[in-house]
Structure 1
Amino acid sequence: MPDIVLSSAVRDNLLSLKQTASLQSITQGRLATGLKVNTALDNPNSFFTAQSLNDRASDLSNLLDNMGQGVQTLRAADKGITSITKLVESAKAIANQALQTSSEYERKQYTSQYNDLLQQIEDMAGDSGYKGKNLLSGAGNELEVIFNEDSTSNLTVNAVDFTDTSLDDGLNLDDLDPGGTGTSSFNINGGVATLDLTGLQASSNLSDLGDWANGDIVSVTDSSGTTTFTVGATITTVQDYIDALGDLSGVHASFDETTDQITITSGLDNTLSISKDATGGGVATDGGATGGTSTTLSVTPLTAGATLISSGGFQAGDTITITDGNDFEPASIEIDDETTVSDLVSFLNNVKGLDATFSGGSISLIGEVSFDITSDNSDFNRTTLATASGTVGLTAAASEFKTDTDIDRTLQAINAALDELRSAARAMGTALSTVEIRTDFTKHMINTLEVGAGKLTIADMNEEGANMLALQTRQQLSSTALSLANQADQSVLSLFG
C-alpha cells in the first residue's frame, strides 16, 4: 500500500468518510441500545454514577418486595382481628340474651353457645397467618420490615396471642363451666282402707259409739313412728277424726254418710296401721266401730294407666309446679279425676332439660339443671308419717351463667377483651399505615434513582435520529467529493489522447 500514491484531495475525502462512518457506528449503537453511555469508555463519570444509582434502586426494589409481603402479613392479622372482634361481640350478645331470661336451662344452653364461639375465636386466630407468619399467634411470630439498604431503618411489629382465649395477656376469656346433670326419683303408691262408724254422721260425737269413750287413744302407725289422737280432746266429732286423719302426711280421708264409713287413701311407701285402745274406759277397736283388731292399710305401686287420685298424695284440683334453681317456673299442671301417672310423666318430659321415665311405681328423673317439683297439696310425695317435706328435689351442678352476677362478670371480661382487640387493631393499623407509606416512598425513590441514572446514560432518540440523517447526508457528500477528486486525477489521461 505505501507504493500507492493518492492525491491530497482524495486522502482528505477518504478521511472524512472514515470519520463519518465512525460517527454513524456510534449513533447506530445509541439508537439500538437507547443509551448514550453504554460502557465506561463512553463516559466514565456518567457510567459509574448511573451504575451506583441503579444499584441502589435495585437494592430498594428487593426491599420493596419484603415490604409488600409485610403489608400482606399485617393485612391478614388486621382481617383476623376484625373477624375476632365480631365473634367477641356475638359472645357479648349471647351473654346479654342469657341476662334476659331467668330460666336456668336456657342459660345453660347459652353457656354452650358461648364456649363454641371461644373455640371459633381460637381457630380464626390460628388461621390468620400469611406465608408462615401469624401476628395473632404469639411469641416467635414477630414481623420485621426493613426500609433501607443498611437496615438502619426498620419496623418491628410484635405479635399478640389470641389462639388461646384464656391467656391473661390476651383476651382473658375462659370457657364457662356448663354445669352437670342431676338425678332424683319418687314413688307413686296407692292403697285404700275403710273405717266403719256405724250410725254416726259427720257431726256426731265419737263417744256415741258403744266401744268408744272419751280418753281412749287412736294410734296411727307406720315405719317412721306413731301419731296419736285422744278422743274427747284432740278429736271429738267424726269430722274432727276425718280432719285429723287427712292432716297426716301422705293420707287423704273422706266420710260417706250413706255408708257411715271413713275412706282412707294412702300414698305412703309403707303399711299404715290404725287402732283405738281402751285407755278412757272404752273397748279396743280397729280404729272404727269394730272391736279387737287394728285396720291395716297396705299400698302397692300404681301402674302407668292408674289415675293419680288413687294415691293419697293427689287430689283433683291439685296443681303440680316445677321450678328450677333460679326459681323460674317452666311449667305446671292441674290434676283432675282422669289424670293418669302416664300423663304426669309426659308433663315432666315436656319440660326442657328434664327427662322422666316410669317403671315399677317409681318416676326416675334426670335433669340438666336443678329442679324442684312441688304441689299445693301437702300430701304430695310424703313417704312416711314423719316426712318433713313433700318436695321432689333434683340437684345439678350449676352453669356459670346461672345467676345475674355470673353473667355480669362474664360481660365485664368480654368488654375488657374488646378493649384489647381494639388496642391490637390500632397497633396493627398503625404498623400497616407505616409500611404502606414507606412502600410508597420507596417506589418514588426507586423512580427518582432510575430517572437520575437515565439522565446520565439514556440517549435522546430524536437527537440521535437527526444525527443519523445528518451523517448519512455527510456520507453521501463525502462520497461525491471523493468521486470528483478522482475525476480530477483522471483528467491527466486526456493528455495521452
Structure 2
Amino acid sequence: MGDNITLSAAVRQNLLTLQSTADLMSGVQNKLATGLKVNSALDNPNSFFTASGLNSRSNDLSNLLEDMGQSLQTIRAADEGIQTITDLVESAKAKANQALQTQSQFERAKFAAQYNNLLEQIEDVAKDSSYKGKNLLAGDGNDLTTIFNEDATSKLKISAIDYTNSALSTGLNLSDLVEGQGGATSFQLEGGKTTYTLTDGTSTLNTSSLLTDSADIISGDAIEVRSAGGTAQSSLTVDGTTTVQDMIDSINSTPGVRAEFDEGTGVLTVISNEDMTLVADQTASAVLATVAATAFTALSTTLVDSGSFKAGDTLTLTDGNNFELGSLEIDEDTTVDDLTNFISDFNGVDASFNTTTGKLAIQSETDLALTSDNANFNAENFTADADGVTIEALSDSGFAMDNDINRVVDRLNNALSNLRSQASEFGTNLSTVEIRQDYTKSLINTLQEGAGKLTLADTNEEGANLLALQTRQQLASTSLSFASQADQTVLSLF
C-alpha cells in the first residue's frame, strides 16, 4: 500500500482556494499593519525606489531645516543685541546733551565718566550677544552661513560686525573720553600791621591836612615804603601842597600794602603782606612806621590782618570755563577758617590750612581760579598777582569744551545711523531665512506627500479587501466542509 493520501478533486480545489485566500489576507494585513502598499522593492520596484529618493531628499532638507532654525536664533540674538546697544548709544547722546546744558567743568567731568560707563556696557552687550558660540556682533571668525538646499548651491552668508570694541572705526567709532585729572596749588596767608599817629604836636591831622603840618615830616621829604632790604617800593615827594590823603594813596599803590586812616584820632594803620618800613628820608630821615609780617598760624585769624584783603572785597571761585562756583564777601570778621570752608563747599574742590606754614592748599578736579576785586590779593614781594590763585588741571575731561561735546554728539549720530543700518540688514537676513524656512517646510511636505502617494496604502480599500477575503475564507471553509461530507457518504454503504 503506498504512502500517498489521495484527496478528491473537490477537497483539493477547496484547499487551494483557502491557501490562496490566506496568502491574500496576509498581504492585506501587512499593508494595514505598516500603512504601506509598497514595503520593499519586491512589491513595486519603480514606486519603491522613487519613493526612497523622495524620502531621502526630504530627510536631507529636514536636517537643513534644523540648521535654518539655529541660524534664525543666532540672527535674533544679534538683533536683540543691536536694539540694546542702540538704546545705550541714545543714553550716551543724552549724557552729551546734558553736558552741553552746563558750563561747570566738574559736572561735565562726571558726565564724561558716565559716558565711558555706557561705552563699557555697549561692549559688554556686544560680547554677550552670542548663540551657541556664534556672535554676529563680535567681528572676525563669526560670519554666519545658512545653507538652503542639499547640494549647498543655495545659501546665505551674513558678515559679522565688531561692536565689542566701541572705538573701532569699522564699528561704532566711539572712543572713551578723558575723565580729567585735577591739580593743586597753595598760597601764603601772612601779614602784619602797625600804627602811626599824624599830629602837628598839639592836635591830630585829617586827610585834607598838609603833610608839612606834621611834626615828623618836612617839605622835601620822600615818603617811601621800603622792603626789608631797603628798596623803595613807592615814593611820594612832599611839598607845600601834599596832603595826608596823598600819602595814604601812595602807600596803597604798593602791591600787598594797605593804609587805613582814622579821621577822628589821626591814626594811620599800615597793613602789609611783607616786612616793610615807612620812612621820611629827606631832612628828618625818620622811620615813621615798621611792619613785621608773619605767617598766619590760626584758623581764627581774620583775613583783613593781611594786605591781600580788606573789608568789602569779593572773592570769586571759577573753573576753566569761567563758570562761577560761588563768591565770598570779606568783612572785618571773616577768618581763615571761613575762607577754607568757602572753597571746600564746592564739588571737586578741597581746601586745607597748614597752621605751621600759613599756607592754604587747594586741590581741584578741574581748572580753578580764586580771584578778588582787590588788586592786592595774593601780592607777593610787593608784586601784584593779576591772575589770583589758579590751578591748571593735569588734563581736562573730554566734555570740558562745547566743541569737544559737539564732536562727540556728531560721532554718536553716526553710530546711531550705523546701528540702524545694521539692524535693517539683519532684519532683511532674518526675513530671508524665515521665508526659506517656510518654503523648505512646504517642500518637505510635498516630497513626503509624493512618496506617500507611491507607497502608502489606502486603509479604506485594504479594509474592504480584508473583509471580502474573510468572507471568501468562510465560504471556502464551508465548501471544503461540504466536499468532505460528500466523501463521507461512501461510508454509509458499508
| TM class, shorter-length | over 0.9
Q: Is the 8 A contact 2:190 2:293 kept in 1?
A: no
Q: CA contact under 8 A between 1:321 and 1:329: conserved in structure 2?
A: yes
* 1:235/1:298 CA distance change after superposition, 3 Å: farther
- Contact kept, 8 Å, 1:166 with 1:172, in 2: the verdict is yes
Distance 1:390 1:168, change over 3 A: closer
- 1:98-113 to 2 correspondences below 5 Å: 98-113=99-114
d(CA) in 1 for partners of 2:147, 2:216: 113
Decide which moves more: 224-233 or 310-319: 224-233
Shift of 1:471: 1.1
**In structure 2, how many angstroms separate the alpha carbons of the residues matched to 1:480 and 1:133?**
74
1:233–1:352 CA distance, 2 compared to 1 (3 A): farther
Q: Secondary structure at the match of 2:328?
A: strand
Cα offset, 1:312, TM superposition:
2.1
Kept in 2, the 8 Å contact 1:190–1:302? The answer is no
Provide, for residues 410-469 of structure 1, a one-character-per-residue CA deviation record: whole Å limited to 9, x for no partner: 111111111111121111111111111111111111111111111111112222222111
Tell me how far apart the structure 2 counterparts of residues 2 and 157 of structure 1 sit (CA, whole Å).
84
Q: How far, CA to CA, are the matches of 1:193 and 1:178 in structure 2?
A: 50
RMSD between superposed Cα atoms in Å:
1.8
Residue in 2 that maps onto 1:136: 137
Write out per-residue CA displacement over residues 241-268 of structure 1, whole angstroms, 9 at most, x where no aligned residue. Answer: 12222232222211123432201122x2
Contact 1:53 1:453 in 2 (8 A): yes
Distance in 2 of aligned mates of 1:475 and 1:222: 144
Secondary structure at the residue paired with 1:169? coil
1:16 to 1:2, Cα distance in 2 relative to 1, 3 A: farther
Matched, 1:335 2:335: no
Whole-Å separation in 2 of the counterparts to 1:390 and 1:135 = 56
* Matches for 1:129-208 after TM superposition, within 5 Å: 129-198=130-199, 199-208=204-213
Instruction: Choose 447-456 or 257-266, whichever is displaced more.
Output: 257-266
Choose the corresponding residue for 1:323, options 318, 341, 346.
318
Q: Which amino acid aligns with 1:257?
A: E
Moved over 4 A (4+): none
Q: Which of these residues, 460, 463, 483, is aligned with residue 462 of structure 1?
A: 460
| Residue aligning to 1:392 | 389
Distance 1:36 1:395 in 2: 94
Q: Given the alignment of the two structures, is residue 482 of structure 1 paired with residue 486 of structure 2, yes or no?
A: no
1:87-486 to structure 2, matched below 5 A, reads: 87-198=88-199, 199-222=204-227, 225-232=231-238, 236-266=242-272, 268=273, 270-278=274-282, 282-287=283-288, 295-360=290-355, 361-389=358-386, 391-396=388-393, 397-486=395-484
Q: Report if the CA contact (8 A) 1:215-1:230 is conserved.
A: no
Is the 8 Å Cα contact of residues 316 and 335 (structure 1) preserved in structure 2?
A: yes
C-alpha spacing 1:211/1:164, structure 2 compared with 1 (3 Å): same
**Residue identity opposite 1:443 in structure 2:** K
Cα pair distance change 1:262/1:481, threshold 3 Å: same
- Give the SS at the match of 1:402: coil
Match of 1:177, SS? Answer: coil
Deviations 1:61-115 (A, max 9, x none): 1111111111111111111111111111111000000011111111111111111
Provide the secondary structure at the position in 1 that maps to 2:343: helix
The one-letter code matched in structure 1 to 2:235 is F
- Are 2:234 and 2:251, in contact at CA under 8 Å, matched by a contact in 1? no
C-alpha distance in structure 1 between counterparts of 2:165 and 2:493, whole Å: 114
| Cα 1:203/1:183, change in 2 over 3 Å | same
Cα distance between partner residues in 1 of 2:281 and 2:40: 138
Cα distance between partner residues in 2 of 1:465 and 1:181: 94
Paired with 1:205 and 1:154, the residues of 2 have a C-alpha distance of 108
Deviations 1:304-325 (A, max 9, x none): 1112222222222221111110
Question: Does the Cα contact within 8 Å between 1:60 and 1:442 map onto a contact in 2?
Answer: yes
Rounded to whole Å, the distance in 2 between the matches of 1:116 and 1:332 is 34
Which has the larger displacement, 106-115 or 310-319? 310-319
Q: Secondary structure at the match of 1:63?
A: helix
